[in-house]
Structure 1
Amino acid sequence: MSSLAKPAPSLAAATHAIRAQFFVCGIVFATWGVHVPSVKAHYGLGDRALAMAMLAGGVGSVLTLTQAGRLVGRHGPRTVTIASGLAASLAIALLLAFDSYAALLAVMLAYGIAISLFDVSINAEASEIERLTGRPVMSGFHGMFSLGGMVGSAAASVLHTAGVTPTQRLVVGALASAATIVAGWSAMLRVDGPPAEGPAMSLPRGALLLMGVLAALGLISEGAMYDWSVLYMRDVLAADAGIAALAYASFSAAMAAARFCGDWVRLHVSAMRLMQLSGTLGAVGMALTLLAPHPLVALAGFALVGLGFANVIPILFSAASRVPGVSAAHGIAAVSSLGYLGMMAGPPIIGLISESRSLAAGLSTVVLFSAVLGLAARRALPRG
């Protein structure tokens, strides 16, 4: 069990600080997501080459996940958060700084390494806060991530309308993120603990494997919204760049609202029923977007997808922490490792489908994965 070094910041201050870090994580993801069309245009990429650039970020994340637990255990979430958060901000600022495709791949690799470390470290801090408070707060923290995504994408739309160039918008987003990370860092808990023992990363089995697969399906769909929703609005629906940027904002706003209510909902609706409802909403929302090709309808569809997927990860993390014979920490780590793999590997797969068929065909996988989530809920989750 970890112990707190003395003197330690107050729990209330640490709670506000970690909310700010989740908010920044959402901004960073959104800043990348809304600039996918800019990256594609700047480097002159087709969907396949763009998918490979996304895959470079996924490779960085997957490689990092094999050691993330050890790094956070050795140095503590506080230290890893500031180092990885600032590195992720720098990578975002450099997205359009080069002309070489090889340089873009290197930046995306660095981004994948940094953002996965940042994600793991702030979730480790959030888990410690939840343990100390003795009540469910994780959905609220993830709500701050979604709120950050909404604010980041909406800000990009406003800056575009004001005539700010994509490069300038990236720098503004990176500086704002870095400033918030530094401001919140001092109030984070100083959590110490011995380095993790045993294998760096083990594959989940049984119930944890099924939960991990569902987390991967959910995060593939969530990742598709980050990386492809804006491009769908621009390339398929011919929406103005400012309107297109609202695709991610619509998705994130709905997800944030549902997550802020998530802890209350989970007290009144069983995990199985809530997952079934989540899968249904995700499938209906994505189908609506694809079958009614109008920008305003698409925005409503993206919002439904956000509502559907808002509490998928909190549900699965909570269930994983209660698997008999498995520690809470190991259960969550096992599910999150497969989930994060899905989040980073899914968008490149959608890109490959888009290259061979169409972007609409690629995004139709979200309908399929949503349906699987709903159908598998009865087997994977308790009814009570």
Structure 2
Amino acid sequence: MQQAQTGRWAVAAMFATNGFVMGAWAPQIPLLLTRHDITTSMLGLLILGLGLGAVAAMLFAGRLIQTYGSRSIARAFGLATAPALPLVVLAPNLPLLALAMALMGALIGCMDVAMNANAVEVERRLGRAIMSSSHGFWSLGGFVGGIAGSYVIAKFGAESQALTVAALALITVLLAGPKLLADAPHPTETKPEPHALFPRDASLWILGFMALFCMVPEGAVLDWAAIYLNRELGADLFRSGLGFAGFAATMALMRFAGDRLRNRFGAVKTLQISGLISAAGLLGAGFAPNDITAIACFTFAGLGVANMVPILFSAAGNHPGMAAGAAISTVTMVGYAGILIAPSSIGFIGDHIGFRATYAALAVVLLIVTALAPRVKAADGLKPL
């Protein structure tokens, strides 16, 4: 049990490191415009390439985990992720920048799948949920990376920030990696099908699309809440940013409370309650009479959205007849496609029917996830090993 407890904090450190690198990357993005003399449209394509690199790598991560185990893959890709940001920042020209960004996305994507698979292993050993708080550590790492990264860029420059982030990430992975739990043998798992990247299990794909249905509303708040508050509700510049800020704050806080709720009420009921809260929040934001009400509703929605994806990842990792890595790689691949789909599709829909109707429609999407909540009952079968 002591080993499992140690592994629990080691995997939390990996989540925090992954989030830290992503948070530190955010303030670097605008600097690429002047450094490479590119347009915002070109920058959008480069960011899309980063996302596609992550999603494509997730296809292969599951097979690597099945072969080598989640601990080895998390350590390997954690070490490889550490220098990824300097490669992007120091890229001398546009072709190498595009290649470096796609590579960074692929490395972070593989590390993401491996650390989620290892978190499932910790849950199996402890016999209780730890996935939501693990994602909470990712959010915390992202917050620290964004705030501290912005400060270091302002004081010492982009190159110094990237190298510092790489050094801190490398040290953390070197310290935490050896303490990750090794995968225990699970006799019910099937062998990977030769040359098959896509599992044929329809129920697993349903979990994937449930994750996508949760991530699209999250992306819709991230990318478009400020514009909605400003354009349609007349919020000023400061209040326009409070919609996502409130949403992100409650989401991070609730992730640290999510495991306790899930251990008490079970994955199915927790997902059902979370789905109803998030749907009510987005519906309220869509019909809000003013910007203050909408901000409050977005903040309320964050309470529900917080634990939906972690529960789905736990359900995938305990999917009957499949190795955790293979199942999680499929669900994360489909789910993270929602982050790629959300920015452009939500903007297009919002321009044509307005963001009020868009957020109301996304509430219905979350109600679909709520109705499908019994699909995550595999996550409730945790018993200490």
Equivalent residues in 2 for 1:10-49, closer than 5 Å: 10-49=3-42
Give the 3-state SS of the residue equivalent to 1:136 in structure 2: coil
Corresponding residue number in structure 1 for 2:380? none
1:215-267 CA-partner distances (Å, limit 9, x unpaired): 012223445677x479979x999969xx97x9877654422211111122233
Aligned to 2:160, which of 154, 168, 182? 168
Task: Tell me which amino acid in the other structure corresponds to 2:175.
Answer: A
Is residue 85 from structure 1 mapped to residue 78 from structure 2 by the alignment? Answer: yes
Q: Give the distance between the partners of 1:157 and 1:163, measured in 2 at CA.
A: 9
Question: CA shift at 1:186, angstroms?
Answer: 2.1
Q: Give the distance between the partners of 2:301 and 2:164, measured in 1 at CA.
A: 29
Q: Give the distance between the partners of 1:284 and 1:203, measured in 2 at CA.
A: 35
Q: Give the distance between the partners of 1:136 and 1:25, measured in 2 at CA.
A: 20
Is residue 257 from structure 1 mapped to residue 253 from structure 2 by the alignment? Answer: yes
Corresponding residue number in structure 2 for 1:5? none
Q: Give the distance between the partners of 1:247 and 1:41, measured in 2 at CA.
A: 29
Instruction: Give the 3 Å change call, closer, same or farther, for CA 223–44 of structure 1 in structure 2.
Output: farther
Corresponding residue number in structure 1 for 2:265? 268
1:186-234 CA-partner distances (Å, limit 9, x unpaired): 22223376995314433465443333212012223445677x479979x
Equivalent residues in 2 for 1:168-317, closer than 5 Å: 168-191=160-183, 196-199=191-194, 200-203=196-199, 205-222=201-218, 228=223, 251-266=247-262, 267-268=264-265, 270-271=269-270, 273-280=272-279, 283=282, 287=286, 292=291, 303-317=299-313
Instruction: Give the 3 Å change call, closer, same or farther, for CA 371–89 of structure 1 in structure 2.
Output: farther
Q: Give the distance between the partners of 1:33 and 1:208, measured in 2 at CA.
A: 32
Q: Give the distance between the partners of 1:378 and 1:353, measured in 2 at CA.
A: 23
Corresponding residue number in structure 1 for 2:383? none
Task: Tell me which amino acid in the other structure corresponds to 1:283.
Answer: L
Question: CA shift at 1:114, angstroms?
Answer: 0.4
Q: Give the distance between the partners of 1:290 and 1:173, measured in 2 at CA.
A: 43
Aligned to 1:155, which of 125, 148, 152? 148
Instruction: Give the 3 Å change call, closer, same or farther, for CA 208–370 of structure 1 in structure 2.
Output: farther
Is residue 95 from structure 1 mapped to residue 95 from structure 2 by the alignment? Answer: no
Question: CA shift at 1:107, angstroms?
Answer: 1.2
Question: CA shift at 1:184, angstroms?
Answer: 0.7
Corresponding residue number in structure 2 for 1:112? 105
Task: Return 305-314 or 34-43, whichever deviates more.
Answer: 34-43
Aligned to 1:50, which of 34, 38, 43? 43
Structure 2 residue ranges without an equivalent (≥5):
378-385
Instruction: Give the 3 Å change call, closer, same or farther, for CA 252–186 of structure 1 in structure 2.
Output: farther
Contact 1:287 1:364 survives alignment (8 Å): yes
Aligned to 1:340, which of 324, 328, 333? 333
Question: CA shift at 1:23, angstroms?
Answer: 1.0
Q: Give the distance between the partners of 1:186 and 1:383, measured in 2 at CA.
A: 31
Task: Return 87-96 or 258-267, whichever deviates more.
Answer: 87-96
Task: Tell me which amino acid in the other structure corresponds to 1:75.
Answer: Y
Q: Give the distance between the partners of 1:333 and 1:74, measured in 2 at CA.
A: 10
Instruction: Give the 3 Å change call, closer, same or farther, for CA 145–284 of structure 1 in structure 2.
Output: farther
Give the 3-state SS of the residue equivalent to 2:83 in structure 1: helix
Give the 3-state SS of the residue equivalent to 1:381 in structure 2: helix
Q: Give the distance between the partners of 2:288 and 2:169, measured in 1 at CA.
A: 31
Instruction: Give the 3 Å change call, closer, same or farther, for CA 17–224 of structure 1 in structure 2.
Output: farther
Give the 3-state SS of the residue equivalent to 1:189 in structure 2: coil
Corresponding residue number in structure 2 for 1:4? none
Instruction: Give the 3 Å change call, closer, same or farther, for CA 302–220 of structure 1 in structure 2.
Output: same
Q: Taking every aligned residue pair, what percent have the same amino acid on both sides?
A: 28
Question: CA shift at 1:47, angstroms?
Answer: 4.4
Give the 3-state SS of the residue equivalent to 1:94 in structure 2: helix
1:113-165 CA-partner distances (Å, limit 9, x unpaired): 101110111122211111111122222222211221222223234446x5343
1:272-321 CA-partner distances (Å, limit 9, x unpaired): 532423432562587599973x9xx86x6765454332111133234556
Q: Report how many aligned residue pairs link the two structures.
A: 365
Q: Give the distance between the partners of 2:44 and 2:65, measured in 1 at CA.
A: 30
Corresponding residue number in structure 2 for 1:71? 64
Task: Tell me which amino acid in the other structure corresponds to 2:212.
Answer: A
TM-score (norm 1): 0.76
Q: Give the distance between the partners of 1:362 and 1:100, measured in 2 at CA.
A: 38
Corresponding residue number in structure 2 for 1:128? 121
Q: Give the distance between the partners of 2:347 and 2:212, measured in 1 at CA.
A: 20
Task: Return 202-211 or 127-136, whichever deviates more.
Answer: 202-211
Is residue 62 from structure 1 mapped to residue 61 from structure 2 by the alignment? Answer: no
1:38-92 CA-partner distances (Å, limit 9, x unpaired): 3345444444323321221233223322221221232232322222123223222
